[in-house]
Amino acid sequence: MVCLQELKAEQRSFPETELRGAGYHAVWLGQRTWNGVAILARDAEPVVTRTGLPGDAADTQARYIEAAVGGVIIASLYAPNGNPRSGPKFDYKLAWMERLRAHAAGLLEAGVPVALAGDFNIVPEERDIYPTRSWSDDVLVRPESRASFRRLLDQGWIDAIRAKHPADTIYTFWDYKRDRWARDAGLRLDHLLVAPSLAPGLTDANVDKFVRGQEGASDHAPAWAELDISQPKRRKRG
């Protein structure tokens, strides 16, 4: 399964035909500007279970899609950046994260195997960013943002990359500016959170850092996790 974010494509412009030719079934939520999310799968047809987070009927930004794939619920999400810190964009980011937390709690309560994957636009800890003070006032590292991510983890979600690399410095994003890729001045913004029921099957997780160095690459590198979901364990209700 592949989770994509920031498609920058309208719903009708998504390359479904080309992806099918490459062996992938897809569901997506397109948007013309900076948003858009998708889930791709081989050997299975994703069945959409939700487009958008509950809690704000007026929110039309394409930032969340959720589907059942091979017995697992997977969500591809693109959390708001939130900059600048003072103003409606930051308020929207924090409110969006609270809506995600509320929905995620319901997913865990249902006891189904679930994974949340995507660009959370939050650096969880100081070790998830290169030594610098140039980002100190950025929303990505603000205490309020980190607290919202921590509240999500406190529900019981497993940060797959951190679980497999508890002491390592790992980045998923290197800004195009100021030669940050060459200096390995990165941030860890992209996270794969798995429900406790899937945690026993987590065999590996990492970032394909080399992709960031390819010609025309995104400023994000692909984060990935390997899960044995052949016999997912379901939590009992109550």
Domains in the chain: boundaries: 2-227
For residues 118 and 43, the model is more confident at 118
- From the list 81, 68, 146, the residue with the least C-alpha distance to 107 is 68
Q: What is the pLDDT of residue 174?
A: 98
- From the list 174, 193, 191, 192, the residue with the least C-alpha distance to 183 is 174
Q: Which pLDDT tens digit goes with each residue over 95-113?
A: 999 999 999 999 999 999 9
Q: What is the pLDDT of residue 231?
A: 54
Q: Which residue has the tokens 């939130």?
A: 82
Q: What is the pTM of this model?
A: 0.94
Q: What is the pLDDT of residue 34?
A: 86
Q: Which pLDDT tens digit goes with each residue over 66-85?
A: 999 989 999 999 999 999 98
CB 89 within 8 A of CB 83: yes
Whether 232 shows a pLDDT value over 60: the answer reads no
Residue 238: band (very low, low, confident or very high) from pLDDT cuts 50, 70, 90: very low
Can you identify the CATH homologous superfamily of domain 2-227? Answer: Endonuclease/exonuclease/phosphatase (3.60.10.10)
Residue 237: band (very low, low, confident or very high) from pLDDT cuts 50, 70, 90: very low
CB 77 within 8 A of CB 114: no
Q: Which pLDDT tens digit goes with each residue over 190-222?
A: 999 999 999 999 999 999 999 999 999 999 999
Q: Which pLDDT tens digit goes with each residue over 143-173?
A: 999 999 999 999 999 999 999 999 999 999 9
Q: What are phi and psi of 179, to 5 degrees?
A: 55, 35
Which secondary-structure segment (H or E) carries 142?
none
Whether 230 shows a pLDDT value over 90: the answer reads no
